[in-house]
Structure 1
Amino acid sequence: MQSSLRDRLPVQSATLFDAKASKNMTFEEIGKQMGRNEVAVAAIFYGNAQTTPEDVTALSNILGIDHSALEKQLAGYPYRGHAMDMPPKEPLIYRLYEIVQNYGFAYKAILNEKFGDGIMSAISFSTKVEKETDDKGDWVVITLRGKW
């Protein structure tokens, strides 16, 4: 975890990131053991996703964290978006923000043409990150899937 974020994140973030580092695990590896998507797991680490009792047990077992301590830290509701400045200063996050700035109205127009009036849910939602490689290099593929 970036030291500049440490003070802006909930208490469980330090616990989870320290344990992840000590186990030298990726979000993908943790997610596979939990039966969860790697992005959902990372969102838990940053305090942006709700956990189930099963998530707490799995994280405790996978990362070697005391269950009762982790359960207390993960109790309550997520506090989403509190750690980020707007506009974002971190370059990769800024690029994602820039994509929405540049293509947001185009996405909206096309979505309205295809689905009618409405919005895409960020609650009934899933996302994934994939890597593609071709002769021009590595490419990131981010899929956003939200209920209309």
Structure 2
Amino acid sequence: MSYTRPSPLLVDVKSLEDPQRLSQEVRKVLSLDKRDAHHLIGDTSKTAYMRIHEVIATVLDKLASFKEAHEETLNKLLLDLSRTLILVKYQQARDQISDRLASNIEVVLNKVIDTVNNAISILRKGGSIDIEAIRRVSEGARALLDSFAVLVYMYSR
């Protein structure tokens, strides 16, 4: 029997909008066996992931605590999110995190960035935004990031 490697993209980013689907995604990540987990995290170093996790988590936590619809605040957080993408790419280029893990983190971050960009566009047109939706997406992204952290700490070098 031959073994088929899992897809490089593990997570369904639409789950960030729905707590039930998010729960399933987190459980899927956490239930990976050692072989599949290693396929995802590769030679990711704990230190590199810890750096990435800390920076991204800080930005996501700020976004999750967002209380009022201010374009200036959202623009600042958007810049911070863009910087987190740069950090992920930098650590990937240095071979400190695996390509697959970097891809999954990027997909999650891009979903958050898209959500913030959409909110900014709505505000610029004079509309009102759903702050709870922004919170849900950022909290979901944090949960997925934390689930990746578990794998890194369990199986990395």
TM-score > 0.5, shorter chain as reference: no
With the length of structure 2 as denominator, give the TM-score of the two structures.
0.25
Which fold has the larger relative contact order, with Cα–Cα distance below 8 Å and residues 6 or more apart in sequence? 2
If each structure's helix is expressed as a fraction of its own residues, which one has the higher value?
Answer: 2
